[in-house]
Amino acid sequence: MDPNNQSKLRLSRVSHQYPGASGEPLVVLKDISLDIANGEFVTIVGGSGSGKTTLLRIVDRLIPPSSGQVLIDGKVVERPGGQISFVFQQDCLMPWRRVLGNATYGLDLRGVAKSDAQERARKYLDLVGLSGFERYYPHQLSGGMRQRVNLARALAVEPDILLMDEPFAALDAQTRELMQIELLRIWKQTGKTILFVTHQLDEAVFLADRVVALSARPGSIREVLDIDIPRPRDIEIKRTTHFQDYVSRLWHLIEADVRRSFRAETAAEA
């Protein structure tokens, strides 16, 4: 993060634990401290169980931290919503609502007048490339288009911060790469601060200003990697040695944790 750029989002010694089956607490996150600048794109990687999704949920106050604080513009976050929108892995569109109705949903919950909500939703549907699809139902759309509706809905409430939890995981490889390009375009146009969780290391590098690598449970920050790749970026950058060096470095940071997690999951299924 640029030291001259004021922190938009600050995580201050955030830890979290759940009650364990044996009575002992299960510590999921431990002492996470991170400053994210206004308009910065930060991705988070780590093995299964490292607490990536839990961390996003704490930032949005869907669950409170066991200790530590989350601050936006220097103020402690005490309840969900407000300046933050959450884009989940599943698009969660309501099948009985058309595209426009899905895009206005967050605004409807906030009591925005119907005409104003629709006008704003149309603006963001156009931004994500879905102008003309307002009257379609979700089942008539491809997976990539459904996620665009999901993103338009999140943007329509005009948050300062977007939290994204593996939003492209269910897409095929080609659509996923196209959605990465689209997300960078939208990010550039809106200037949102984005915190993005992914298991795909090349996705993490391609999107980010910085990549946060979490350790195995309890998740703590193993390293924060600055991505020195000029913007704008296109898919061809992924074929370069410079890009692949970043991916390799990330893999070396989390490889041992990923292998341990894989062995544990395999043993549990046996």
Residue 90 is predicted with a pLDDT of 85
Contacts of 226 (CB under 8 A, 6+ apart): 209, 210
Higher pLDDT, 154 or 82: 154
Count of Cβ atoms closer than 10 Å to residue 18 Cβ: 12
Nearest to 152 by CA among 177, 121, 194: 121
Q: Which amino acid is at 181?
A: I
Give the homologous superfamily in CATH for domain 1-83+160-252.
P-loop containing nucleotide triphosphate hydrolases (3.40.50.300)
pLDDT at 233: 95
Asked if the model's pLDDT at residue 54 lies above 60, the reply is yes
Is the pLDDT at 42 greater than 60, yes or no? yes
What is the strand order of the sheet 75-76 is part of? 25-37, 7-19, 67-72, 75-76
The answer, yes or no, to whether residue 254 has pLDDT greater than 60, is yes
Average pLDDT value for residue range 75-90: 85
As a whole number, the mean pLDDT across the chain is 92
Mean pLDDT, to the nearest integer, of 208-227?
96
Mean pLDDT of 107-115: 94
Q: Give me the pLDDT at residue 2, please.
A: 47
Q: Is the predicted pLDDT of residue 209 greater than 80, yes or no? A: yes
The domain ranges of the chain are: 1-83+160-252, 90-158
pLDDT above 80 for 23 = no
Mean local confidence (pLDDT), 213-229: 95
- The reported pLDDT for the residue numbered 240 is 97
